Amino acid sequence: MLKIQNLNKSYNTRKVLQNLTLHIESGEIYGLLGANGAGKTTTINIICNLLKADSGEITINHQPVSEATKKIIGIAPQENLLYKTLSCEENLQFFADIYGLNRETRQKQIKATLAAVNLLDRAKSPVETLSGGMRRRLNIAIALVHQPQLVILDEPTTGLDIEARYEIWELIRQLKNQGITVLLTTHLLDEAERLCDRIGILKNGQVLAEGSLAELRTLIPASEILVLQTAQIEQAIARAQSYGFTHKYYGNELAFWLPESLELKEIIARFEGIEIDAIARTDVRLEHIYLEVTQGN
């Protein structure tokens, strides 16, 4: 569906994208992760033909990016593209006109799109009367009204409460079920874990790691991760190293990579003689992978 090959973009002497290469298959949800300044927004702008790359190639459905490919892309930016005094229906009418939908198709699509985002009963409601979650759903509806094949969702759940986040997640899953390809950018790593078929980790304009969550987990040679609270940190690290456990710090938390899963009593036995305040065990999570990749290890 979307192929990016050796994409480069600089602003004066600052390199924003450096030989960026990634492929997104038709019908999948692809998560693009990266800190602010990693190059996500620049990449999106080039995909949408709003910005020209210095070099490299992008094709969408085997077509080079152009004015023509804009019609097969829908984008829901982080900031809502909504007119607050207009109703949901009127907002969609405005954007459907921009996409060139004729009157019959426009009315049919507005109704279908509002139903898809569960806002059909609020069609006549002004945007200013909607909750934050409803506004985000309407923002996604704008990206869907012209029936695109590729939808770009930029931080779709930022600032939402947990119930509204779940509503957006379910909507994204429905898009996949309809065969729509989704490019998702998010700072919420649990969101990427739950939704994405594949994930790319972006830093300094380059994809440093890419794959399914299972594939990315192989980057960390651990069966599980042990988090330990103790005042005897140096002793705990030395003991862990004697058993082949790699130690890491996640924020202020002392953690160890366990090469194999152990029973709790076995773990306690291996730290015998060291005062332990608390022990927590977890699977290898995307946050661990992301930190390992982006910190250059």
10 and 153 in a single domain? The answer is yes
| Residue 120: how many other CB atoms lie within 10 Å | 15
Which residues, listed in sequence order, are joined to residue 250 by a DSSP beta bridge?
A: 253
Report residue 78's pLDDT band, with 50, 70 and 90 as the boundaries: confident
pLDDT tens, residue by residue, 198-246: 999 999 999 999 999 999 999 999 999 999 999 999 999 999 999 999 9
115 and 145 in a single domain? The answer is yes
Provide the 8-state DSSP code for 199: E
Please give the average per-residue pLDDT across 59-76, as a whole number: 91
213 and 228 in a single domain? The answer is no
Please give the average per-residue pLDDT across 264-277, as a whole number: 92
Q: At what angle do helices 132-144 and 103-116 cross, to 10 degrees?
A: 140
For residue 123, pLDDT over 90 is answered with: yes
123 and 211 in a single domain? The answer is yes
198 and 230 in a single domain? The answer is no
The domain boundary residue, chosen from 184, 217, 250: 217
The whole model's pTM is what? 0.90
270 and 242 in a single domain? The answer is yes
The domain boundary residue, chosen from 162, 185, 217: 217
Q: How many domains does the chain have?
A: 2
207 and 228 in a single domain? The answer is no
Residue 40 contacts residue 34 (beta carbons within 8 Å) = yes
201 and 101 in a single domain? The answer is yes
Structure confidence at residue 80 (pLDDT): 87
151 and 133 in a single domain? The answer is yes
Task: Annotate 23-59 with three-state secondary structure.
Answer: EECCCCEEEEECCCCCCHHHHHHHHCCCCCCCEEEEE
Distance, CA of 135 to chain centre: 19
What CATH number should be reported for the domain holding residue 20? 3.40.50.300
Print the domain residue range for 147: 2-217
Beta strand residue intervals within the chain, DSSP E: 2-11, 14-24, 29-33, 55-60, 63-64, 73-76, 150-154, 181-185, 198-203, 206-211, 224-229, 246-250, 253-258, 278-282
What CATH number should be reported for the domain holding residue 274? 3.30.70
Structure confidence at residue 227 (pLDDT): 95
For residue 296, pLDDT over 70 is answered with: no
High-pLDDT (> 90) share of the chain, %: 84
118 and 211 in a single domain? The answer is yes
Please give the average per-residue pLDDT across 176-195, as a whole number: 94
The domain boundary residue, chosen from 217, 246, 273: 217
Please, what is the average pLDDT of the chain? 93
Q: Which H/E stretch holds residue 166?
A: helix 162-177
Please give the average per-residue pLDDT across 93-99, as a whole number: 92
275 and 187 in a single domain? The answer is no
Report residue 297's pLDDT band, with 50, 70 and 90 as the boundaries: low
Please give the average per-residue pLDDT across 266-281, as a whole number: 92
170 and 45 in a single domain? The answer is yes
pLDDT tens, residue by residue, 133-170: 999 999 999 999 999 999 999 999 988 889 989 999 99
